[in-house]
Structure 1
Amino acid sequence: MNKKHAGSTPLLALIALVAWIAVLLQLYLSLRFAIGSGRTVGQGLVMYFGFFTVLTNMLVCLAATCPLLAPASAPGRFFGRPATIGWVAASIAFVGIAYYMLLRHVWQPQGLQWLADVLLHYVTPILFVVYSNLALRGIALRWTAPWWWSIYLAVYFVYVLVRGAVIGSYPYGFIDVSKLGYAVAVRNGGFLLLAFWIVSYLLLLLWRVGPRRA
């Protein structure tokens, strides 16, 4: 790991542990639910990989694990770059905020599902944002960076629409074309993109506080 990030190594290790526990626990719960509902393991995996929360927490797993275990490798260097740390931080922060604002009242998870829910939507986002503040404090990332980071969200949105057209199921109600139609779903997607940019620029401002670093 880069020396300027060495002080955050224990935190990064904690993030890796929490994030891996979260995604693996949710995988177990998704497969258990699918099988219990008379579906196949394959259908359970399709359901699992449909959620932006799951995909972004997996991104955090890579962002925390690769720089720890293989810092000199191509993935380790990529996930150690300030712009990449910023991208992952903005994405996982968006997960937590969007869930809190839009989805926390939709269901009341219990037991292990409650634990997975808390880890995926609250603990991992908070930990990674704290890490990003340590790693990026004083670093002036480009103001255009959030536009590039939002490609990830846009690609996910297209993926969900194509996936939904094929299997007839959508992971989130506010982009459920079968109930809302394409016009409303795309409009809601535009609002989410705007919210992502707001979150990203607030983080950019946070990271710029402190002594300027190259």
Structure 2
Amino acid sequence: MAGNDDSTSMSARAREAVRERIIDRRYPQGVRLVEREVAEELGMSRVPVREALRSLVADGLLELLPNSGVRVRTITRDDVHHLYEVWEPLAVQASRLAARATADDPERAADLEQALDDAERAAAAGAGAREVTAHAAFHERVVDLAGNPLLTRTMEQLNGLLRLLFGMREEPAHMRAQHSEMFRRIAAGDEEAAAAATLLHVRDSRSLALRSLFGDG
């Protein structure tokens, strides 16, 4: 069992290391990742790296090449539009349900505040990938707080692509401010205000993503 645990831990470390490099753009969009080279760079054997790359394909950060290997996914305008068309109603409903959950127990919002604190510390340290992770964690914790297992499973399919887009967007301070507003509304148990703050945030997020990636607007 210990061997399996070690293998799982190494795969998780490899997955996080590769994901960080994608978000930081050290692995740019469209670049082919060679398993052997990634393993050498990370100082790991090829097995956990192979598992990590497979996992990141499932997350939507990498895509399989026709013959063999993987490359970093290249985001298109259609990708952005399709993602936000799905994410917007789910994110709004998640915030509404999260606010309902905190109405009787405000302390349940503590995990959201922790994610905000993590983002602030990462920003102060200039740690871009860590800040992106904290912003993604904020949204994931809103979904957890909503307490709807089907919503959680659905959102898990979007999280990889969302993290990639968060890393490519500009104006992180603007995102932190909007997350803070969402937190205040959710922690206050105000369902409609939480939903409204989230709707504004998601629509701004879409505009920022399009501007950052394609110069739109």
Shared fold per TM-score greater than 0.5: no
TM-score by length of 1: 0.29
TM-score normalized by the length of structure 2: 0.28
